[in-house]
């Protein structure tokens, strides 16, 4: 599988896991109100299946993220994780009826633009088959080696 396809699939799966986690917390939270500092509230939270979907989502997110970090440069990889903000916003309008306002749309566009800029900046930074700078640093290789 070529690198571009690996990144496209991997980061799509990562954003889907991130989105699933946040939406699951929202569903679980809707059933746990009002928050109280007692065991009854904790039982109410863990009595709702969406909290377990969130935990499963976190596990999937962790393994996807670790796999991606093995191959992807950390800067753009971290930036792509912020697409979750955009996806949660879009799903929240559909699932929870939250308003999609111009400031939110502009903020989402800024996030996407920043990710695109980082991707283009990183794409020419490393020759083919060369480890990203961050990976070299983790291996004790000095920059420029």
Could you read off the pLDDT of 13-41 as tens digits, one per residue?
999 999 999 999 999 988 888 888 899 88
Helical H runs in the chain?
Answer: 3-32, 39-46, 49-71, 74-80, 83-96, 102-123, 133-138
Residue 95 corresponds to which tokens in the numbers above?
Answer: 């699932």
Residue with token string 């990144």: 7
Over residues 94-106, the mean pLDDT reads 95
Mean pLDDT computed over every residue of the chain:
84
pTM beyond 0.85: no
Q: Of 19, 37, 22, whose CA–CA distance to 83 is shortest?
A: 19
How would residue 128 be classed by pLDDT, with cut points 50, 70 and 90? Answer: low
Percent of the chain with pLDDT over 90: 50
Does the bond joining 34 to the residue before it have cis omega, within 30 degrees of 0? yes
Cβ contact 111:86 at 8 Å: yes
Residue 136, phi then psi, degrees to nearest 5 = -65, -45
Euclidean distance between CA atoms 43 and 25, whole angstroms: 15
């Amino acid at each position: 599988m070529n690198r571009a396809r690996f990144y496209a699939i991997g980061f799509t799966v990562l954003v889907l896991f991130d989105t699933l986690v946040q939406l699951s917390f929202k569903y679980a939270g809707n059933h746990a109100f009002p928050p109280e500092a007692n065991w009854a509230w904790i039982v109410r939270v863990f009595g709702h299946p969406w909290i377990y979907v969130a935990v499963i989502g976190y596990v999937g997110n962790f393994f996807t993220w670790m796999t991606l970090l093995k191959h992807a440069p950390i800067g753009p990889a971290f930036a792509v994780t912020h697409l979750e903000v955009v996806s949660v916003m879009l799903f929240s309008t559909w699932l929870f009826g939250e308003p999609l306002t111009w400031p939110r749309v502009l903020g989402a566009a800024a996030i996407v633009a920043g990710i695109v800029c980082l991707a283009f900046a990183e794409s020419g930074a490393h020759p083919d088959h060369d480890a990203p700078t961050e990976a070299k640093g983790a291996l004790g290789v000095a920059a420029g080696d």
